[in-house]
Amino acid sequence: MTSQEIEMTSIWGLSKKAANYRLAPSPEVRCDACKYMFPPLVVGGCRLVRGLIQGSATCDQFTPRRPTSGP
C-alpha cells in the first residue's frame, strides 16, 4: 500500500489477517512505536486494524510515530 492508500483506509478498516498482524521481529517496528496505535502501551487499539492490539506486535501498515533520523 502506498502512503496515500493508507491515508484513505477507513478507521478500523482492516482485519488483522489483511494487515498481516504478527509478532514484531524487532523493537523498531513494534505497534507501540507506530503512529496508528493508541495509546502506545502494552495493549491498545489501532486506527487502521480492528481488534485489541498488542504493543509487541506489528503489521504491514507500520508507520513510525517519530521519523527516523538520517545519517
Residue 45, beta-bridge partner list: 38
* 65 DSSP 8-state letter: S
| pLDDT tens per residue, range 5-39 | 555 567 778 999 999 999 999 999 999 999 999 99
Backbone angles phi, psi at 56, to 5 degrees: -90, 5
- With 80 as the cut, is the pLDDT of residue 63 above it? yes
Q: Which residues contact 39 (CB under 8 A, 6 or more apart)?
A: none
Reading phi first (left if > 0) and then psi (alpha if -120 to 50, else beta), residue 67 is in beta
Q: Mean pLDDT, the chain, as a whole number? A: 87
pTM: 0.78
C-alpha cell at 16: 488483522
